[in-house]
Amino acid sequence: MKYIVIIPAYNEAAYLAKTLESLALQTLLPEWVLVVNDSSTDQTASIAAAFTTQYPWLHLTTKTSAAIHLPGSKVVQAFNHGLALLPETIAYDVIVKLDADLILPPHYFETVIQEFTANPTLGMVGGVALIEKNDTWVMENLTDTDHIRGAFKAYRKACFQQIGGLQPAMGWDTVDELLCRYYHWSILVRPDLQIKHLKPTGAQYDKKARYKQGEAFYRLHYGLLITIIASVKLASKKGKPLLFLDYIKGYFKAKANREAYLVTEEQGKFIRHYRWSKIKSKLF
Measured distance CA(219)–CA(170) in Å, rounded: 9
Domain ranges of the chain: 3-197, 210-283
Other beta carbons within 10 angstroms of residue 266's beta carbon come to: 10
Q: Cβ distance 218 to 202 under 8 Å?
A: no
Span 124-139, average pLDDT? 93
| pLDDT confidence tier of residue 95, bands split at 50, 70 and 90 | very high
0.95 surpassed by pTM: no
Say what percent of the chain tops pLDDT 70: 94
Q: Which of 109-118, 191-200, 243-252 has the highest mean pLDDT?
A: 109-118
**Mean pLDDT of the 92-111 span:** 98
Residue 37 has pLDDT above 60, yes or no: yes
Which pLDDT score, from 0 to 100, does residue 170 have?
87
pLDDT at 149: 93
| Percentage of the chain lying above the pLDDT 90 cut | 79
Q: Which residues touch 28 (CB under 8 Å, ≥6 apart)?
A: 3, 109, 110, 113
Q: How confident is the model at residue 70 (pLDDT cuts 50, 70, 90)?
A: low
pLDDT by residue (tens digit) across 174-232?
999 999 999 999 999 999 999 999 986 654 545 567 788 899 999 999 999 999 999 99
Fold category of 3-197 in CATH: Spore Coat Polysaccharide Biosynthesis Protein SpsA; Chain A (3.90.550)
Section 141-163 average pLDDT: 91
90 touches 34 (CB < 8 A): no
Tell me what the pLDDT averaged over the chain comes to: 92
Provide the pLDDT for residue 126.
97
